[in-house]
Chains A and B, each alone.
Chain A
Amino acid sequence: MLVIKNLHANIDGKEILKGLSLTINKGEIHAIMGPNGSGKSTLSSVITGHPAFEVTHGTIEFNGTDLLELAPEERANEGIFLSFQYPVEIPGVSMVNFMRSAINEQRKYRNEPAISATDFLRLMREKKELVEMDSKLTNRAVNEGFSGGEKKKNEIFQMAMLEPKLAILDETDSGLDIDALRIVANGVNKLKSPENATVVITHYQRLLDYITPDFVHVLYDGKIVKSGGKELALELEARGYDWIKQEVEA
């Protein structure tokens, strides 16, 4: 589904990703772990097309399409979704308007007619229940005045609405209490299917108690330096990252 080869990326002239390769197939859950500053969030920004990052080398293919040629909105409509580490507040733009625009743009991209008002409201209701989101939140402006937990729930709600093929969860667990973590993880698990894939970017093993990864990768200094099964996450939790750094530098 997603094939990244020898990816190099800069921000403000500083190289962050230094030859990253990763292959993700449908039906899989990948966890990407790594110490602070190793390039985890940069990877998600580059996949979704954040204009601040410049790809200097390498390729990203998504279902055979050259992703680097596409604008962020086209990537989204191809089925890539990013749950932001820091969801953005957009005062004045209502959740309803925002979601309706997003759904209809996706439909337009697929040559489908716009969604009817009743279908849209039904869909909103259904998906809100899935992430146990307070109904009042969707009547407000996008993320405006939401608590940290509400913002993260809202990300998963949007993911449920858009049903992406590839979902990237960037530090979705940070700032969540145990209950919110469970709700968010439940949402992700319910949305899981053999047809889609999930990338979980996280510092801690905690989220992986709820979302079981098929593969765990360690990102360090802009490269994936170690890959393994879910037991790798447990080992990292127990031993920290120092032994990996030593292995790499040795």
Chain B
Amino acid sequence: MEQQYIDLYKAHRGMIKEHSAAVMNASRDEAFARFARLGFPTTKIENYKYTELKPSLEVDYGLNFRRLDFPVDPYQAFQCDVPGIDSFLYFVVNDGFYPETDDRNKELPEGVIICSMKEASEKYPELVATYYGKQSGKKDDGLVAFNGAFAQDGFFMYVPKNVELPRPVQLINIMRSDVDFMANSHDLIIIEENAKAQLLVCDHTQDDVRFLANRVTEVFVGEYATYDHYKLENTHNRMTNLMTLLIDQQASSNVISNVITLHNGVTRNTIEVALNGKHCETEVCGMVIADKNQTVDNFTSVLHNMPECHSDELFKYVLDDVSKGAFTGRLFVEKDAQKTRAYQTNRNILLHPSAKMRTKPQLEIFADDVKCSHGATIGQLDDNALFYMRSRGIPYNEARLLLMNAFMADVLEYIRIFALRDRMKMLVEKRLRGELSKCEGCVICQ
């Protein structure tokens, strides 16, 4: 499997670089060497034990090294008008930033930069070089290395010191192709000291072919900065979605990340938050609703590298049919990270005897003055509650729905954009009712 990509890289190295940017090219060969050494992760690797990628990787995907435009007008295809959500709106089609953006995006505060990685690398090479690959470049992870070798573009966002974005930024990733297709993109998000920003990333598929997306997002959050990262996946069953989200937090910063999988094919989310300054706060959350043969693995790491930080982690899954879920909660507390407070919860409901869930809290604590807790449960809906509701005239299916919505409700509390929270409540209910049985383009937008 790896060999064809190794050959491909060797044959097209020049073309890949020619259509990318110097800053990204600088570490490309090194990333390639790492990939050649590591290969794709298999289930024999502990961190990928529950992500079976082989069937997804065996597909013969097309790639777009020449950066040809895909015929799509996202504004036409996606009437993105989340009621009540007033956002700065951007599109990435496959792995290319869609250049023509809305007029309203001109209202960005002065100094804020949102553009493609390629453009950013050309216009602000020093800024990009300061951050690009600083987190991903060290990862001994086949997917991240592959991304470093093959990603040619991505989304770039820079919010300078003391600037607060007046509206959330919405980034819509659309997979669009007439043949089986693979996209690699590398996003870079820089929130400087005391700045404030919210980003909503939506992943969608448009065509009925097999897709694989391997996206790496590096986020740097400065001192006293506040950042929200919401990620919503609503893709079809033939999508393999591999995401690595790396967040570097400096002292006294505050971050929420909430990764929601509403509908998907095979999904692997690797989320790593490094608390690199004192008094950081971070909330790492997510939910999964899966049925049929959908697979979702959320692999999370919270690294308490400095003292007096606070992390909260909450993931919930509802799995039906033969779907499979996995959750890993790695919590690492460095020797000097005293007064750490770290809490982790993972709760799962299996609706069908064939659904499977694997959950693993993994706490590694080297400091001796900390408060850490973790809890993981796998169960069914409460029969007593169901009967109680039925005895009040609420039909079985409706009662189940009320319980499942209630189960998911607290994850949605970790959305600080109220209009989005309301919209998500509605989408979750629709999904649990089975009305979102397939991705119909951008549900968040229709």
Which residues of A pack against B, CB within 8 Å? 48-51, 71-73, 75-77, 81-82, 84, 87-93, 97-98, 101-102, 105-106, 109, 141-142, 158, 162
B63 interface hit (Cβ, 8 Å): no
B3 interface hit (Cβ, 8 Å): no
> Could you tell me if B391 and A48 are in contact, using CB atoms closer than 8 angstroms?
yes
Complex contacts, A158 vs chain B, CB 8 Å = 392
Given contacts A71-B396, A88-B385, A101-B398, contact A76 B390 (CB under 8 A): yes
| Candidates A88, A98, A109; contact of B402 at CB < 8 Å | A98
> Could you tell me if A109 and B393 are in contact, using CB atoms closer than 8 angstroms?
yes
Bound CA span A97–B402, Å: 9
Complex contacts, B396 vs chain A, CB 8 Å = 71, 73
| Candidates A49, A81, A90; contact of B403 at CB < 8 Å | A90
Complex contacts, A87 vs chain B, CB 8 Å = 388
B387 interface hit (Cβ, 8 Å): yes
B387 and chain A: residue at smallest CB distance: A50
| Candidates A84, A92, A105; contact of B394 at CB < 8 Å | A105
| Candidates A73, A76, A92, A106; contact of B410 at CB < 8 Å | A92
Given contacts A90-B403, A90-B406, A92-B407, contact A102 B393 (CB under 8 A): yes
> Could you tell me if B406 and A72 are in contact, using CB atoms closer than 8 angstroms?
no
B378 interface hit (Cβ, 8 Å): no
Given contacts A72-B387, A88-B385, contact A93 B392 (CB under 8 A): no
Choose among B383, B391, B396, B405 the residue with the greatest number of A CB atoms under 10 Å from its CB.
B391
Bound CA span A71–B402, Å: 18
Interface set, chain B 382-422, CB cutoff 8 A to A: 382-385, 387-396, 398-399, 402-403, 405-407, 409-410
Chain B nearest Cβ from A148, distance in angstroms: 16
Bound CA span A101–B328, Å: 37
Bound CA span A60–B389, Å: 22
> Could you tell me if A101 and B390 are in contact, using CB atoms closer than 8 angstroms?
no
Bound CA span A72–B382, Å: 16
19 A–B pairs (Cβ distance < 8 Å), ordered by A: A49-B391, A71-B395, A72-B387, A72-B390, A73-B391, A73-B393, A76-B390, A84-B391, A88-B385, A90-B389, A92-B410, A93-B405, A93-B406, A98-B389, A101-B389, A102-B392, A105-B398, A106-B393, A142-B388
Chain B nearest Cβ from A88, distance in angstroms: 4
Complex contacts, A90 vs chain B, CB 8 Å = 382, 385, 388-389, 402-403, 406
Chain A nearest Cβ from B412, distance in angstroms: 11
> Could you tell me if A105 and B406 are in contact, using CB atoms closer than 8 angstroms?
no
3 nearest A-B pairs in the assembled complex, by CB-CB distance: A92-B406, A76-B393, A72-B390
Chain A nearest Cβ from B93, distance in angstroms: 39
Q: Interface residues of B toward A: which range?
A: 20 to 34
Chain A nearest Cβ from B118, distance in angstroms: 46
Interface code B202-242, partner A: CB below 8 Å = 1, 0 otherwise?
00000000000000000000000000000000000000000
A88-B387, A105-B394 are known; give 4 further A-B pairs, CB within 8 A: A48-B391, A51-B387, A75-B391, A93-B403
Bound CA span A91–B385, Å: 10
Bound CA span A75–B389, Å: 12
A45 and chain B: residue at smallest CB distance: B387
Chain A nearest Cβ from B232, distance in angstroms: 21
Complex contacts, A98 vs chain B, CB 8 Å = 389, 392, 394, 402
> Could you tell me if A93 and B402 are in contact, using CB atoms closer than 8 angstroms?
yes
| Candidates A82, A91, A142; contact of B391 at CB < 8 Å | A82
Complex contacts, A89 vs chain B, CB 8 Å = 385
Bound CA span A33–B354, Å: 45
Complex contacts, A162 vs chain B, CB 8 Å = 392-393
Complex contacts, A82 vs chain B, CB 8 Å = 391
Bound CA span A82–B402, Å: 20
Complex contacts, A73 vs chain B, CB 8 Å = 390-391, 393-396, 399
Bound CA span A93–B402, Å: 7
Bound CA span A97–B425, Å: 14
> Could you tell me if A76 and B391 are in contact, using CB atoms closer than 8 angstroms?
yes
Chain B nearest Cβ from A54, distance in angstroms: 15
Chain A nearest Cβ from B434, distance in angstroms: 18
Complex contacts, B382 vs chain A, CB 8 Å = 88, 90
Interface code B348-384, partner A: CB below 8 Å = 1, 0 otherwise?
0000000000000000000000000000000000111
> Could you tell me if A91 and B393 are in contact, using CB atoms closer than 8 angstroms?
no
B393 and chain A: residue at smallest CB distance: A76
| Candidates B384, B406, B409; contact of A88 at CB < 8 Å | B384
Choose among B388, B389, B393 the residue with the greatest number of A CB atoms under 10 Å from its CB.
B393
Bound CA span A106–B398, Å: 13
Bound CA span A98–B390, Å: 11
A91 and chain B: residue at smallest CB distance: B406
